[in-house]
Amino acid sequence: MYAVAAELCRQGYIASLTVRNTKGVDILVTSEDTTRTAAIQVKTNQGYSDCWMLTEGADTYHSQNLFYVLVNLGTPQGSPEFRIVPSKVVAAYVSKSHRDWLHTPGKRGQQRKDNSVRKFHDKSGRYRDRWELLGLGAAMSRE
């Protein structure tokens, strides 16, 4: 969360961490002129991956101003890598991929048992550094 908040501030936005009991929102971010806001849910990989683990709420919990920022901390460049994904995209993806997984036989041909794990993949890097998807407008430069 701190890496995401720092990056948002570096870009000129106002980022506020929420208290731990705020369901589904880790950071509230506002444009510098305070006219636009977005809510962010952060998911982090300690290493480097194109897959993030989510819970079953991810397939139904979405809104126009809710975004996931998926972070890889251990990148080859040594800096955090950020993927910014609208919650609606995440919900559709994890819902379909989980449903497909349930209907695919397990290793021994058995029917899979449902669980609360959901996975989001961004193999192509389509959402890497896509901060503009937050809809906050261009950050103002600091002089």
CATH number, residue 113: 3.40.1350
Q: Considering the domain boundaries, does residue 101 fall inside one?
A: yes
Strands (E), the chain: 14-17, 27-30, 37-45, 51-55, 66-72, 81-86, 117-121
Q: Considering the domain boundaries, does residue 140 fall inside one?
A: no
pLDDT at 95: 94
Per-residue pLDDT tens digits for 99-139? 999 999 888 999 999 999 999 999 999 999 999 999 998 65
pLDDT at 96: 94
Q: Considering the domain boundaries, does residue 141 fall inside one?
A: no
The answer to whether 135 and 36 have CB atoms below 8 angstroms apart is yes
pLDDT at 137: 82
Q: Considering the domain boundaries, does residue 97 fall inside one?
A: yes
Residues 90 and 37: their CA atoms lie apart, in Å, by 19
Q: Considering the domain boundaries, does residue 142 fall inside one?
A: no
**Count of beta carbons in the 10 Å neighbourhood of residue 143:** 3
Q: Considering the domain boundaries, does residue 30 fall inside one?
A: yes
Q: Considering the domain boundaries, does residue 87 fall inside one?
A: yes
pLDDT at 23: 81
Domain boundaries, position 90: 2-134
Number of compact structural domains in the chain: 1
- Segment 82-90 shows an average pLDDT of 97
pLDDT at 10: 93
pLDDT at 140: 47
Q: Considering the domain boundaries, does residue 139 fall inside one?
A: no
pLDDT at 121: 96
Q: Which two tokens stand for residue 5?
A: 């908040």
Q: What share of the chain is helix, strand, coil (3-state, %, to 5)?
A: 25, 30, 50
- Segment 137-142 shows an average pLDDT of 56
Per-residue pLDDT tens digits for 14-57? 999 998 777 889 999 999 899 999 999 999 999 889 999 999 89
Is residue 142 pLDDT above 70, yes or no?
Answer: no
pLDDT at 139: 56
Q: Which two tokens stand for residue 116?
A: 């609360």
